[in-house]
Amino acid sequence: MRKSGFTLTLLLTFLFMSGAFAQITDTLKVYFEINSCSIKGGDLNSLNQLLEKPNLRDIKIFAYTDFLGSFEYNQQLSEQRAKSVSDFLVAKGISRSEILESRGMGIHRFSSYENRRNQNDRGIREHRVVELIYTCDSGVEAKAVEITPVEEKTIPVITTAPEDEPVIIDLKTIKETDLVEGNNIVLKNIIFEGGTPTFKPESDEALEDLLNIMREYPNLKIEIQGHICCESTNGPDGYDYVNDNNKLSENRARAVYEYLRDNGIETSRMTYRGFGSRYKLYPLERTSYEQSQNRRVEIRITGK
């Protein structure tokens, strides 16, 4: 066992001394004019700045249009926008092998005439977009870690989730033992209209289940936490088309708070908070399922 520990120490020290860097995954958005697939102005500057990032790799390109035009036309236009961005990167020296995916996604899922926030724009600029997901080195060299060899012992198997990892529990079958202070519980099936804090009708049952839990355990205190998908992890909160502000995750958490308050739960037992896209369960959001899992509401048990 001593030999194994010593070997591991040497291996990790070698890796860190050889210049290993922490990596980050992020998203860049490139916007387009109506009916255009040309990259212009500030978006050209943004792409050029992206190319300066160290060890840029694992690039995925997803292109969208707004609601203007037919389905067939917008599918073709989104494909042209994806190609425009990928061709630009290749022309600037990025190997095509680093572009893992380049797809036209057609009309943006939230795009409709009713969701316009700028009445001077026939469509919606935010939806005429290419989302470019990439990985690069952070530029910060990892520090050497010294691991002390240990005597041979039986190593316990860790069966509990990390402290900050949300616990997915059906509220219909929740038990008092699940209500541990510090636990985060994902509220399944609380669904909102796109780009708004407005509940969809199918959320009614899950909201009622949460209300019943708060009534059954009158000393339970919670923080309601809102999360969104499809934005950069270090970017602003999502845009709320109802309230005309960039507080979508906060407003969705507040909607749950107000539902409980309006149904008799004391406000002293609740707080709410929005986290935007900072804590994604699926950082790359490669599928609609992963996006839906990132677009969630959680409750954190703060007292019992």
Per-residue pLDDT of 159-217, as tens digits, reads 233 344 555 566 777 778 878 888 888 887 788 877 888 888 888 988 999 999 999 99
Residue 263: pLDDT band (50, 70, 90) is very high
Residue pair 244/194 in contact by the 8 Å Cβ criterion: no
220 and 118 fall within a common domain: no
User: Tokens 């369960």 — which residue?
Assistant: 281
pTM: 0.49
Is 6 among the domain residues? yes
pLDDT in tens, 30-43: 999 999 999 988 88
Mean pLDDT, rounded, for 94-121: 83
Predicted confidence (pLDDT) at residue 242 exceeds the cutoff of 70: yes
Regarding whether 129 and 219 lie in a shared domain, the answer is no
For the CA atoms of 236, 116, 199, 265, what is the dihedral angle to 10 degrees?
Answer: 60
CATH number at 53 reads 3.30.1330.60
Q: Quote the pLDDT of residue 169.
A: 61
Residues 13 and 134 in one domain: yes
Three-state DSSP class for 46? helix
Phi and psi, residue 28, nearest 5°? -115, 135
In a domain, 214, yes or no: yes
Residue 157 resides in a domain: no
Q: Does residue 6 carry a pLDDT above 80?
A: no
Does the residue 108 lie in any domain? yes
Report in angstroms the alpha-carbon separations of 12 from 16, 22, 48, 151, 302.
6, 14, 35, 19, 39
What is the spatial distance between Cα 213 and Cα 187, in angstroms, rounded to a whole number? 12
Take residue 157 and report the two structure tokens written for it.
Answer: 């198997």
| Per-residue pLDDT at 113 | 76
Residue range 225-235, pLDDT digits in tens: 998 887 777 77
Q: What range does the domain containing 84 cover?
A: 2-141
The DSSP string of 78-133 is HHHHHHHHHHHHHHTT--GGGEEEEEEEEE-TT--GGG-S-TTSSS-GGGSEEEEE
- Position 48 in a domain: yes
Same domain, 121 and 232: no
Q: Is residue 175 domain-shared with residue 136, that is, in the same domain?
A: no
Residues 175 and 128 both lie in one domain: no
What backbone phi and psi angles, to 5 degrees, belong to 214?
A: -65, -30
**Are both 220 and 293 inside the same structural domain?**
yes
- 63 and 175: one domain? no
Tell me how far apart the alpha carbons of residues 211 and 214 are, in angstroms, rounded to a whole number: 5
Do the domain assignments include residue 147?
no
Task: Verify that 198 and 278 share a domain, yes or no.
Answer: yes
Question: What pLDDT shows up at residue 123?
Answer: 87
Q: Is residue 162 part of a domain?
A: no
In a domain, 153, yes or no: no
